[in-house]
Amino acid sequence: MAVNLQIPSLLHPVHGVRLGVAEAAIKKPGRKDLLLIELAPGSRVAGVFTRNAFAAAPVALCRERLAAGRAIRGLLINAGNANAATGAGGLEDARLTTAAAAQALGCEADQVLPFSTGVIGQRLPVQRMKDAIPAAATVLSAGGWLDAMRAIMTTDTVPKGATRRVATSQGEVTVTGIAKGVGMIHPDMATMLAFIATDARLSGPATKRVLTDAVARSFNCVTVDGDTSTNDSCMLLATAQVGSADIDENHADYAVVAAAVEAVCLELAHAVVRDGEGATKFVTVHVGGAATAAEARQVALSVAHSPLVKTALFASDANWGRIVMAIGKAGVTGLQASRVSVALDDVALIDNGEPRPDYREERGAAVVAKPEFAIRIGLGRGDAQTTVWTCDFSYDYVKINAEYRT
């Protein structure tokens, strides 16, 4: 069950965005599993994608169409099938389904971007999707965000959405986003799928910069299991419906809009970890005293990825030996154990490489028994720091993934 994660009851509409969902029976019948998003003319679209060498067909097509500079008018998203490792046929399937979506939206095929999530290695049910697209187009609505966040779920137990409204010199701006992903999550781009929209009049370059910076401080700082999806995609859709002057990096409103986008991304990224497959604990790993930010990240991810650390946390076992093991194996050149400090929340375990004489096992156990806590690490090498967020490994993680295709 998701850790302290509530289902959003309100997601503010974004001027220039309409969403519609339909049933396509992609993996199984009886659920909405296809999402169509329509964007107003003049929208600016940016995306960041997986670095996995087996990047899925929809990722390849998105990259191609964005690189061509086409004015994007729509997005087509399906759950239940990743359309990954499907070769030339998978790419053709993505072209066929986006052509059908374009027809429903009244635009050109290369103005629609495809996104897929689900089982890897299987072809899309193209005809069922083509049959469902007109139904999704019929119900397009500015208020379709709540239905949309449910339609993109796979093994998620809770739909994930976040929303903000901020004042700018050109009027009130809305930022609303949805995401899906609970497993195969590792910071190598973003989560499995995330779509953030704003009606701010961001310029094209500013849209890309805002997204890149926000992802670096949110989705790229979470990990569930250390596995990078073939389909990771995170999109920022700026519809330019508020104001008359483009917002670039020198505009007075840039920082306000960028902060709102980052806040939405961070809330969604945390939601992914809170709903990690089988997760019972939401864990913050903070590393300070590093020589560089990259070094701090190296140590933080070593701890966050360690199956031995994660299983101990599930058992509420304050086995700090596993934490120092993970610090030591991170591969930091010249790391001196005699300078390292470790704490669980405010309970100190080690100071400058020496076990704290006042530490008592029951104090550490009380921290890791909580649903949320922090592992705090000091390296004693400098002033750089970083934070990543992760979860524990439970019996259910194995069960969910062992039965994923059944």
CA–CA separation, 8 and 159 (whole Å): 8
Tokens in use for 313? 């946390």
Any catalytic annotation for residue 280? no
Beta bridge partners of 222: 389
Q: Answer whether 200's CB lies under 8 Å from 246's CB.
A: no
CA–CA separation, 234 and 402 (whole Å): 27
Phi, psi of 175 (to 5 degrees): -130, 120
Tokens in use for 400? 């969910």
Tokens in use for 104? 């429903």
Residue among 82, 78, 79 nearest 90 (CA): 82
Residue showing tokens 């650390």: 309
E strand map for 86-158: 112-119
Neighbours of 361 (CB within 10 A): 11
CA–CA separation, 342 and 282 (whole Å): 18
Length of the chain: 406
Neighbours of 258 (CB within 10 A): 21
Residue among 300, 226, 238 nearest 43 (CA): 238
Q: Report DSSP state, residue 227.
A: P
Handedness of CA 349, 354, 358, 360 (dihedral sign): positive
Tokens in use for 348? 């100190």
Q: Answer whether 144's CB lies under 8 Å from 138's CB.
A: no
Catalytic residue among 176, 191, 207, 228: 191
Contacts 24+ apart (CB under 8 A), 296-299: 296/379, 296/384, 296/385, 296/386, 297/386, 297/388, 298/330, 298/331, 298/332, 299/327, 299/330, 299/332, 299/377, 299/379
Catalytic residues: 191
